[in-house]
Amino acid sequence: MVSALTPGWERARRSHQITPFLFIGPALLVTAILAIAPTIQLVRASTRAWKLGQPLAQAKDVGLLNFERLLTGSVPLGHSLKLTLIYAGVALVAELLLGLGIALLIDRALAGRSLVVTILLVPMILMPAMVGMIWKLYFSQEGLVNWALSLFHLPQPNWYSTDFALSAVILVDIWQWTPFFILILLAGLQALPREPVEAAEVDGASRWQVLHSIKLPLLLPLILITATLRVMDLFRSFDVVFVMFAGGPGNATETLPIAVYRTTIEQQRPGVGAAYSIILIGMMLLIAWLFITLLQRYRTEA
């Protein structure tokens, strides 16, 4: 029985059926509507021969033709899939290795760590549109990058060409997001328990042995979580690639997100674009599942 003498928290516990929903429900409702409405639209559009500006209901039902076009038609899904994997894979490996190395280095700095961290925050928070635009200038034939290469007597490629455009985009991502790994892994390194490291040092372990047998295994869950987070952003990255090359030249930088734009706007085939979007969302769900599995395992360990 609930009386005036019952403690407040006890009363709250008993009335728990409805109260939590008053707190969580509104947020769930708003986000669900914002997520489900476009998804329904995508599913409907992906089965129709739809023209932009035409009411969707009037568009002809073509079944799975839009998806078939992804595989066999003029819009090569395989190509964008391959580019997305190269783009995400190369950027991820480079950023992870550089980030880990630099984090280990900063961890051993004697002073000024917080200043270094503050400086490294900046690339990540700059407007992606501006980042793309400015690096496009730096990568031009007579730009800063090629000038720097000439100082070392290195070849100066045409970064705007089919062969090098994707590399330019990847290099920009490495500049902007290596700090992401540096900062998270540095925080992880500094939170490591000191006892195992000190014990190993007393036993005469070399710095490499400490790193290899103690620090890296302890850091592994964090490395995996950070890498998955980064992959999720790389797979849906649109703005910088769009501003720099918009998928071109030809389709040299046409990653999955760019393919959504190109089929929908440039080729005026939003039905095919919707099919692309559904595949993109499906891939995100797959990586999200991996991420959640990692996060859960790590949390129960911690």
Partner 1 sequence: MSLAQPITGTPATIERRGGIARLGRARRDGSLLATILAFAIAAAFALPYLYMLLSSFKTPVDNIALPPKLVFTPTLDNYRAITENDALFRFLRNTIVVAVGSTALAMLFAVPAAYGLVRFRLRWREGIAYLFLVMQLIPAIAVVFPYFDLARRLHLFDTVWVLIVTYTLWNIPWGIWLVRGFIQDVPRELEESSMVDGTSRLGAMLRVTLPLAAPGLTAAAILLFIGAWNEFTLAFFLTTREARTYPTSIGFFLTHSGILWGEMFATALIGTLPVVIFAILVRKTFVSSLSFGAVKG
Q: How far is the CB of 74 from partner 1 (least distance, A)?
A: 19
- d(CA 160, CA 248) in angstroms, rounded, equals 9
- Reported for 51-59, long-range contacts at CB under 8 A and 24+ positions apart, including other chains, are 51/268, 51/270, 52/264, 52/265, 52/268, 52/270, 59/271
Residues 153-192 that bind partner 1 (CB under 8 A): 175, 178-180, 183-184, 186-188, 191
> Would you count residue 122 as binding partner 1 (CB under 8 A)?
yes
* Shortest separation between residue 71's beta carbon and partner 1, angstroms: 19
130 near partner 1, judged by CB under 8 A: yes
Q: Report the residue from 27, 61, 74, 208 that binds partner 1 according to the rule CB under 8 A.
A: 27
Contacts of 250 (CB under 8 A, 6+ apart): 162
Nearer to partner 1, 23 or 152 (CB): 23
Q: Say how far apart CA 112 and CA 122 lie, in whole Å.
A: 17
| Contact residue for partner 1 among 225, 234, 252, 272 (CB under 8 A) | 225
Measured CA to CA, the distance from residue 299 to residue 302 in angstroms comes to 5
Question: Site for partner 1 (CB under 8 A): which residue of 64, 93, 109, 220?
Answer: 109
Does 97 bind partner 1 (CB under 8 A)? Our answer is: no
User: Residue 229, interface with partner 1 (CB under 8 A)?
Assistant: yes
Enumerate residues 244-273 that contact partner 1 by CB under 8 A.
257, 260-261, 264, 270, 273
CA-to-CA separations, 111 to 121, 174, 181, 202, in angstroms, rounded:
18, 26, 20, 25
Q: Which of 71, 69, 88 is nearest to 255 (CA)?
A: 88
Give the binding-site size for partner 1 (rule: CB under 8 A).
Answer: 106
- Tell which one of 3, 9, 57, 58 touches partner 1 (CB under 8 A): 9
